Chain A
Amino acid sequence: MRTILYKVILTLIIISILLGTTGCWDNVTLIEKAIVLGIGLDKIDDDTIEVTLQIINPVSLSSQGNSSGSTNTNNVWVHSTQGDTLFDTIRKQLQTVNRKPYYSHLQLIVIGEELARSGIGEFLDFFERDQELRLAPNVVIAKDTTAKKILSAKSDLENIPAMHLMEILLNDKSDFHIYNVRLFDIITSLNFPKKNPTIGKIEIKEEVSELKIANIDVKGAGIFLEDKLIGWIDDDSVEGLNYILGKVQNGLIIVKDPLNEEELVTIEQKRSDTKIGLNIEGDQFKYSINIKAQGTIGGQQGEDDLTNQKNSKMLEKKVEDSINKKVQNIVDLAQNEYKSDIFGFGEKLYKEYPDYWKNVESNWEDEFSNALVEINVDFKIINSGLIDSANEIE
């Protein structure tokens, strides 16, 4: 009887102690957290970096604030600190931010051009190492400007500018001029030797006193050699790159009407599939890029009937040429101008001919430049929307 009594009392005491210790360890309530949605990395000088955080301002998000209709309230707080290393700089945030910055919902990482040119390896290391971060955030490089400036841009549409920018990047599904990579993609491409990442580009279209996202362009990409930025490609080349990497599904292709050179036809691509083949003939590798795509006629300036078999074939040929040109363009750029294997050709070789790869690995830049690349495009027009040909205008 006595022992049972003691057990009961002991259990009660243990439970009450447990209840009292709830504040410790991992238990952090929401109001103690500062949710960081965007982070910007810049290089100030050789030793100093600047980290800019876009932190949600929870008070201004409240429904009362929104209903008053004032769009000028600061929904986010953009705050910068400077330091020697990334971790050090991030920790220094605590000297000005009262709540604990919380990175798990990070949406966007903006890297300043200067820092990208000097190498992003150190920062990727931190992002990979820290357990609080996920590898999901989208990464962009700010051309000719600082990440701080990009993150300071306001959005007229969304409460949080970082979300606005991030969702623009997600539009790469329907517009293949946008190049979108996640932190994870960059890390995996850097993990393979001689495979280089490409990161989407963000730039300021026009300098204004109060920068808004409307003044910012998200298109094109930066080409890297290992972890250093070496150059830029424009949005047409990004389209080609997206084809080779098999990342595009949807997008618009504008070609000239095969029957009337002055009129344009807009084709909406619905589906595309890319397969890269590899053949070794003697000392020469030959890569074949086989693109199979489907699309519909989305719009047409003239009144010609493009749906009959003959015209349709001609139109398909035009589209194929157009794709071929764009792909060839980026292949030339990568092989000749930048000598950077951004397509993962080396990885392909490694996977199919591992022994051969060992021989060429040390000299892969040259081998990559000299590799033969064959582009085959097969485009099919599957329908023409709800009508056959344009209505005759009378």
Chain B
Amino acid sequence: MVGMDNNMFRKLGNIFRYMKLEKEKSKNKKIDISLNIDTKIPKDINNIEIELKKIFVDSFDFILRKITIGDDFKREVIITYIDGMINEEIINNDVLERFLEFDYNKDNDEWTREEDIIQFIKKEIITASDIREVKDFKKTIESILSGDTLMYVNGADSALVISARDWKERSISEPVTESVIRGPREGFVENLKTNTAMLRRKIKNPKLKFETLTLGVETDTDICICYIKGIADENIISDLKYRLSCIKSDSILESGYIEQFIEDAPFSPFQTIGVSERPDKVAGKLLEGRIAIICDGTPFVLTLPYLFVETLQSSEDYYSRILYASFNRMLRFISFIITTMLPALYIALINFHTKVIPVRLLLSIMDSHEGIPFDPFWEAIFMSLLFELLREAGIRMPQPIGQAISIVGALVIGESVVAAGLASEIMIIIIALTAITSFIVPALSESLPFIRIILMIGANILGFMGIVIMLAIIMLHLSSLRSFGVPYLSPFSPFRKERIEDTLIRAPLWSMFKSSKLSSWKYSNNYSDDKNYIEKED
């Protein structure tokens, strides 16, 4: 028997090793498509043209226009850009038209001088506001790809970058994932600049910093780290920068890529980095000393460190009055408990601890269970699976068909399963309750199915005892989790008296105003000691 086990292990091990080998092989085979360009800009305009056409071969959206300017002393100029990414009006009015209208004879002297030609054009001719001089040819290519317009002049050793980026983007609309009754109706959009502007509009303070960097070898995605200097913990900022610098990836298409690269516990069911689509929420978190990462091309902004209590918080809690806000907090906490524990408790109750069920309740439970061929555990698993299937189908389906899914779902779950005697009514009520309550804590929706199933397994093996053991394991895991060095369960464990007022209840704003600005994990009063950090000029 032991020998067989060893054999089995060896075989499985071999399989894994083979898979690893294959992976490495494919890594080596990868084609290197990164740009291999000279850094110097060629002096001859014809060479530039040849070079550019070579780089942008087979790209119909690449526009290259070669014009000749000047009256007596003519010069050749190349203007290139990517179609659809620039504001053509600016290029026409502030660049091309200026060249045609300019009186070259008046300043003939300078116009003919080779070396200052770029400076001259920059100063005297072009009226567009955002112009840069670039000497690196590779950088000019990157600029073109980012949506800038490039102007190469014959004989000059540098090129002009005219920033007239303008492309079609989604207008600011209400975020779909986090809707509120009271609160701003704006959500982040895909454009990084619009997003930073939205934050800047909320926090009009020079201490709000936006540091940019680019990630992704192929995609060159713009990333922006935002924080409020003085409130955010410097150690966490430097830790974050270190982790970001370690990312080695071809592409960053969404902030989720970054999240997965830098999070503390990739295999935990609990997320250690928060995601939000709401500028007011992110602004609030920044003011609490958290750091936000905005990724170009997605409205989802990451916030970190992310603690367990944040899953129960909503920006609306701070906008509505305290009683209602605290009530909602409690409701969310109770929902979290119901949605994770209810099926497990039910299984434990009817399989192990029938004794504690009041007799009349027992009779109705028995009534609904009579004739069901499955064990309650498998019944629960089956029904939860059915719910997850419907949920996933509802998301993936196009909107008009999505409704059909819900009708089929309601019919299948509500009627047929019971009528066919495959599941009991009470189990359906239980699963429906867990489903409804899971929608109340959407921030945890990714971790809920796992916790639920772990607890259900515990309940099915040892009853309440099993639930307690599994809860202990989950608690151990939660308390060992760290988000950028901050204990995940803080302020419960380690207990922080001054932070507890914004957890299960929400204390009045006037009573927690000061401490809400504290970085939530630190004992130090770094903010309240030095008020200059955020106080505006009076």
Chain A residues in contact with chain B, CB under 8 A? 2, 5-6, 9, 15, 18-19, 21-23, 26-31, 33, 35, 37, 56, 58-59, 61-63, 102, 104-105, 107, 134, 159-160, 163
Q: In the assembled complex, which residues on chain B have CB atoms less than 8 Å from the CB atom of A58? A: 366-367, 369-370
Which of A2, A15, A56 makes the CB contact (< 8 A) with B13? A2
Q: Is the CB of A31 within 8 A of B370?
A: yes
| B16, B359, B461: the one within 8 Å of A18 (CB) | B461
Which residues from A are CB-within-8-Å of B350?
29-30
Q: Which of A9, A15, A59 contacts B12 (CB 8 A)?
A: A9
Closest B residue to A160 by CB, please name it: B363
Given A58-B367, A59-B370, A28-B359 contact (CB < 8 Å): no
Given the complex of chains A and B, what is the CA–CA distance between A163 and B351 in angstroms? 24
- Residues B351 and A27 in contact, CB atoms below 8 Å apart: yes
Given known contacts A9-B9, A62-B367, A30 and B354 CB-to-CB distance under 8 angstroms: yes
List the B residue with the shortest CB-CB distance to A9: B12
CB of B384 within 8 A of chain A? no
- Asked whether any CB of chain A lies closer than 8 Å to the CB of B375, the reply is yes
Determine the chain B residues whose CB is within 8 A of the CB of A9 once the complex forms.
9, 12
The answer to whether B370 and A26 have CB atoms under 8 Å apart is no
Known: A22-B460, A29-B350, A59-B370. A5 touches B365 (CB 8 A): no
A271 to chain B, nearest CB (A): 28
Mask for B133-149, Cβ within 8 A of A = 1, else 0? 00000000000000000
Are B16 and A5 interface neighbours, CB within 8 A? yes
Decide if B412 is an interface residue (CB 8 Å cutoff). Answer: no
Chain B nearest CB: distance from A334 CB in Å? 35
- The DSSP consensus for interface residues of chain A is mixed
Given A29-B375, A30-B365, A31-B372, decide whether A107 and B461 contact each other with a Cβ distance below 8 A. no
Partner of A30, one of B366, B377, B457, B461: B366
CB atoms of A56 and B351 under 8 A apart: no
* Given known A-B contacts A6-B9, A107-B359, A163-B359, A33 and B461 have beta carbons under 8 A apart: no
Distance of A30 Cα from B355 Cα, bound (Å):
11
Q: Which of A2, A62, A107 contacts B370 (CB 8 A)?
A: A62
In the complex, A107 Cα to B369 Cα: how many Å?
22
Is there an interface contact between B359 and A37, defined as CB atoms closer than 8 Å?
A: yes
For residue B415, give the distance in angstroms from its CB to the closest CB of chain A: 15
Other than the known A9-B12, A30-B350, A37-B359, what 7 A-B pairs have Cβ atoms closer than 8 Å? A21-B461, A23-B375, A27-B463, A28-B351, A58-B367, A61-B363, A105-B354
Residues of B within 8 A of A27 (CB): 351-352, 460-461, 463
Cβ-defined contact, B352 with A26, below 8 A: yes
Minimum CB–CB distance for B424 against chain A, Å: 9
CA of A15 to CA of B354, assembled, Å: 26
Q: Is B362's CB within 8 Å of the partner chain A?
A: yes
Residues of A within 8 A of B289 (CB): none
Confirm or deny: B299 has a beta carbon within 8 angstroms of a beta carbon on chain A.
no
10 closest Cβ pairs, A-B complex: A104-B355, A58-B370, A61-B367, A105-B359, A30-B369, A27-B351, A22-B460, A58-B366, A62-B367, A30-B350
User: How far apart are the CA atoms of A102 and B463 in the complex, in Å?
Assistant: 18
Which one of A15, A31, A134 lies within 8 Å of B369 (CB-CB)? A31
Interface string of B361-394 (1 = CB under 8 A from A): 0110111011110011100000000000000000
Contacts of B363 in A (CB 8 A): 35, 56, 61, 159-160
What's the least CB distance linking B345 to chain A, in Å? 15
29 residue pairs from A and B, CB less than 8 Å apart? A5-B12, A9-B9, A18-B461, A23-B375, A27-B352, A27-B460, A27-B463, A29-B350, A29-B351, A29-B369, A29-B376, A30-B350, A30-B354, A30-B365, A30-B376, A31-B369, A31-B371, A31-B372, A35-B362, A35-B363, A35-B366, A56-B366, A58-B366, A58-B370, A61-B370, A105-B354, A105-B359, A160-B363, A163-B359
In whole angstroms, what is the CA distance A15 to B457 when docked?
9
Q: How long is the Cα–Cα vector from A345 to B255 in the complex, in angstroms?
A: 81
